[in-house]
Amino acid sequence: MLTADAEGLRRAVWAGPSHRGHYEVWYLTLCDPTSGRRAWLRHTVHTPPGATGPDGDPGHAALWAFTFEAPGADGVPPGTAAVDRYPLESFAPRPDGVALGPATFGPRSAVGRCGTGAQAVAWDLALEPAGPGPDAFRHVPPVLYAIRLAGSRVSTPSLALRATGTITVGEGGAGATVWRLEGAAAEHGHVLGRRHADRWAWAHVHAFEGAPPWATFEGVSARVRRFGRLLAPASPFLLRTARRTVMVSCTRRLWRPTSAFELGRWTLELEGPSGPLDPALAAQAGPTPDAQGAAPADGEPVRVRVEVTAPPARFLSVEYADPDGGPVFCNHAEHADATVEVHVRRGGAWALDERLEARGTVAFEIGERGARDPRPPRRFDLAASRRLG
């Protein structure tokens, strides 16, 4: 559901140290098309179901910071990776965001630091909406989480932001590199739950070529195991172009898209109704007639096809853990590509109405359980986390 209630989607669900068997994440992904640099910043809370987890951990909060330079000749985007773990008392929810150790994160700013030495990252960013109107998207209806069909809840409190400020990589004065950002594309997500999905694909388009700065695709396709069977993927998504909005977020439509994914590729297809742009966005976009001079109609049937791709060399493999300690692996890329096609009915047949492309401006991940995929050349293991406080 597209909503103006960004504050509600941002608000912490974790109720304090007595709230067990829970994980929660507030994240920011950032894309600077000019320099080719990218960043992925996470603020997390993690509590096991019992008093302690398998490793004796009673629960913790953590800052995660990953940077990605432009891919080199070998296709690998070099960068840094760091996780700092803090006691639960270091985390404090706020009405407009969260505070965790040296970091604060809210609708208009993100400030913090993580890691040490060459892996250190410090950020000081001002955030502004990329366009007017509602900009928050709730992927999964709360009822699915309440009845335990979904083990996680996903939302995007800010679909399209512009970030201005600095990210400093490394420590030691001359040994540090300062990224100076002016209106870099960014988005803010919020994920929480009892257990990660068994398999998932997720993508966010920061910038389509030649499109308004608020045009985006945001979606996830998740498979969960219930009653001993791996269920078909539920695939909520939002596509916002200069002509229309196409959205899947209500329970009866979550399983309608056809979705297939593996490391390096995700395809998603759907036939269904489209919706209008928010009036403020439509006014900013101006008239967008098709080749026949017609504007899109509210509820017009469309066929949408999305393809997201990235070679395995562009992924960073990060070890996660469920609240019960079970391992999960998240393969995350920040230089992925996407192609989106929207077809409409003309003369009784489907005809291409819009084609949007994003080259290297897509955040993309594939999550999995079981054996870790050996192909991503960059890895981060939880054992490498620093324990502070």
CA distance 191 to 14: 11
Q: What are phi and psi of 29, to 5 degrees?
A: -110, 145
* Domain chopping of the chain, boundaries: 24-387
| Whether the Cβ atoms of residue 66 and residue 39 lie closer than 8 Å to each other | yes
Amino acid at 211: A
Beta bridge partners of 359: none
Does residue 114 have a pLDDT over 80? yes
> How many degrees, rounded to 5, is the angle at CA 354 between CA 352 and CA 358?
125
| Whether the Cβ atoms of residue 137 and residue 216 lie closer than 8 Å to each other | no
CA distance 387 to 69: 27
The H or E element that residue 2 is part of is strand 2-3
CA distance 185 to 208: 11
CA distance 31 to 34: 9
pLDDT of residue 227: 84
Mean pLDDT of 381-386: 97
CA distance 382 to 389: 17
CA distance 5 to 33: 29
Place of tokens 């539920």: 234
pLDDT of residue 228: 87
Helix (H, G, I), strand (E, B) or coil at 323: coil
Mean pLDDT of 105-126: 97
Query: Which tens digits make up the pLDDT trace of 186-233?
Result: 999 999 999 999 999 999 999 999 999 999 999 999 999 988 899 999
CA distance 286 to 195: 44
- The sign of the torsion formed by the CA atoms of 137, 140, 145, 150 equals negative
> How many degrees, rounded to 5, is the angle at CA 367 between CA 316 and CA 357?
70
pLDDT of residue 120: 97
pLDDT of residue 316: 98
| Cα-based distances in Å from 108 to 6, 97, 157, 163 | 12, 10, 12, 9
- Closest by CA to 376, choosing from 311, 308, 312, is 312
| Whether the Cβ atoms of residue 43 and residue 27 lie closer than 8 Å to each other | yes
CA distance 2 to 251: 14
Beta strands in 87-135 (DSSP E): 91-94, 97-100, 103-105, 109-114, 121-129
Query: Which tens digits make up the pLDDT trace of 241-256?
Result: 999 999 999 999 999 9
Does residue 299 have a pLDDT over 70? yes
Query: Which tens digits make up the pLDDT trace of 309-330?
Result: 999 999 999 999 999 999 999 9
The per-residue pLDDT of the chain, averaged, comes to 94
Output the pTM of the full model: 0.96
Beta strand pairing status for 81-86 and 386-387? parallel
Helix (H, G, I), strand (E, B) or coil at 191: strand
Beta bridge partners of 330: 318, 367
Beta bridge partners of 163: 127, 184
pLDDT of residue 285: 86
| Whether the Cβ atoms of residue 258 and residue 266 lie closer than 8 Å to each other | no
Mean pLDDT of 126-136: 95
pLDDT of residue 294: 62
CA distance 342 to 357: 12
CA distance 115 to 100: 14
Does residue 345 have a pLDDT over 60? yes
| Whether the Cβ atoms of residue 159 and residue 136 lie closer than 8 Å to each other | yes
CA distance 330 to 320: 7
Query: Which tens digits make up the pLDDT trace of 37-55?
Result: 999 999 999 999 999 998 8
| Whether the Cβ atoms of residue 78 and residue 51 lie closer than 8 Å to each other | no
- The sign of the torsion formed by the CA atoms of 111, 12, 161, 75 equals positive
